[in-house]
Structure 1
Amino acid sequence: MGRLKITDRTDWEVAVVYANKDRHTRRTVWDDISKYHTMGVPLLIGGDFNCIMAQAEKKGGKAFHFSPAAGDMADFMLTNDLVDPGFNGPSFTWTNNKDARSSIFSRLDRFLVSSSILDVFQGLKVKHLTRLASDHCPILCCLMEDVKKASYHWIKFEDVWAS
């Protein structure tokens, strides 16, 4: 876990995750992040969570069941006021690279952010990029502060009005 300074704003805490496939080992990661996270400081976490949270995040293989591991991650998100901001791009970030009948696709990679970040950066976007050489897609988090656009009131002038 580290700190990131966004211009003149307060520091953010940032964590990069490569979570283990084993539920108990992965829960240790959630516990460590929770232990070192300073409540009230915005938190941005990204990486391979090795956990799916909903049926829509999996295609192929065994049927999805909301597992205790998914419950652990949901508790972690709730405890740390984290939300999944959604994404643009391919629905699944991982594949087992098998033939069509045996292929499995899952959304294992994601960003989670403190809800307070979304209050300030309503333009925050997460993109799932094209998978090239890996079995995972690269993911990208773009921060854009909500900028109020100036409103312009156009008046169309008709020449007939001058006569």
Structure 2
Amino acid sequence: MSFDRKDVDLLIGQDWDFFHVPSEGLSGALLVLWKANFVRFQIVEFCSQFIIGDLDIPNKGNWRIASIYGNKDAYKRRRIWERFEVYSSKDLPMVLGGDFNCILSKDDKTRRKRFLFFLGPKEMKSFLALNDFHEVGFVCSKFTWCNNKKCGDRILERLDRCFLNSAALNSPHRLVVRHLARVASDHCPVVLNLVVQNSANKVLRFEEVWASNKASVAVIKGIWRKKLMEVIHRF
């Protein structure tokens, strides 16, 4: 399948640039689009299974983004982990997202064949652990792929995911992953939103372990006393 400038203009408009990796056979094409007048995207490496690039976003810095369409063959999918180890960075926020064509546990699939923790899941989990990639919570349906069959023949799996390294998780942005509804595909679109947080409205969550520290009582009393005095002064 080919994709050119005319197709992009019809699909989303003339303000968008793109990079396309053609399909091999009937599936496997990759397409990355970015709004040219808003961000800059520089391709780092690509193949039939991924596109890696550096995305420069105003007010959000430089992020390394990898769009993935993993091969169903675990041995061929190994190329993803080998190349990503080269480009992984502890200092640069990184996002890996797409169709990995691999489930990591029995909870990622409904019914049918028993889940076996063999080569594919093992290599994927090993790569994620060694290279500091993590998932954040997501909104909407857990499963992202459906075989589009009904009743007892219907199978749902979680093939599409979004992973971030610690540099991304520690950025001053609130990261929200959404699984959108399937419309013209057997896969759900996965969206990662980066929302700038207002430090004035920052929420402090209490950890129960803090209560075991004797000093915590004095700290809490001091804060409450300070807040009380602020209220008195306002009146």
TM superposition score normalised by structure 1: 0.85
Identical counterparts, % of pairs: 37
Q: How many angstroms apart in 2 are the aligned matches of 1:143 and 1:67?
A: 34
**Richer in helix (by share):** 2
Q: How many angstroms apart in 2 are the aligned matches of 1:7 and 1:35?
A: 26
**Deviation for aligned residue 1:122:** 5.3
Moved beyond 6 Å, runs of 4+: none
Query: Secondary structure of the residue that 1:141 maps to in structure 2?
Result: strand
**Deviation for aligned residue 1:37:** 3.0
Name the residue aligned to 1:78. 129
Query: Secondary structure of the residue that 2:84 maps to in structure 1?
Result: helix
Letter in 2 for 1:32: R
Structure 1: unaligned runs, 5 residues or longer: 156-163
Q: How many angstroms apart in 1 are the aligned matches of 2:102 and 2:200?
A: 39
TM superposition score normalised by structure 2: 0.60
Q: Is the 8 A contact 1:96 1:104 kept in 2?
A: yes
Deviations 1:102-149 (A, max 9, x none): 111001001110122111245200000001111101110001133223
Structure 1 or 2, whichever has the larger Rg, is: 2
**Deviation for aligned residue 1:4:** 1.3
Deviations 1:63-98 (A, max 9, x none): 223222111111111222100112111110001112
Larger RCO (CA within 8 A; separation ≥ 6): 1
Give the number of equivalent residue pairs: 155
Name the residue aligned to 1:21. 72
Letter in 2 for 1:36: Y
Q: How many angstroms apart in 2 are the aligned matches of 1:43 and 1:99?
A: 38
Residue range with higher mean Cα deviation, 4-13 or 72-81: 4-13
Name the residue aligned to 2:190. 139
**Richer in strand (by share):** 2
Structure 2: unaligned runs, 5 residues or longer: 1-51, 203-227
